Structure 1
């Protein structure tokens, strides 16, 4: 998957995770921000490696939200 697309998907997925009531990042600080940034970076890298360039971001988002 292209980096630009993977970055966008990582941000969308992270936003969805942070919106859940079970997530404990309500009081953000530098440490939490660093952890979130690392998560986004790792997720983007994994998406680039695992998902084919032919797969659209819409397909991934629909699969993610359909869980």
Structure 2
């Protein structure tokens, strides 16, 4: 499902390295690396949300407010 959203150009996704999303048409996989090109050894994402502000529905606005409060 995430690959489908990404391929439509309506999202990005962080996925485990064992998942091969490159077989989904329109998806480009990139490794997370440090500025010097070395791989990240550990990544922690607490929560994140992004959306087009100009296209935000009332539901998206409510969810965004909820995420900000976490």
TM-score above 0.5, yes or no: no
TM-score by length of 2: 0.23
Q: Name whichever structure is richer in helix by fraction.
A: 1
Q: Which has the larger radius of gyration?
A: 2
TM-score by length of 1: 0.24
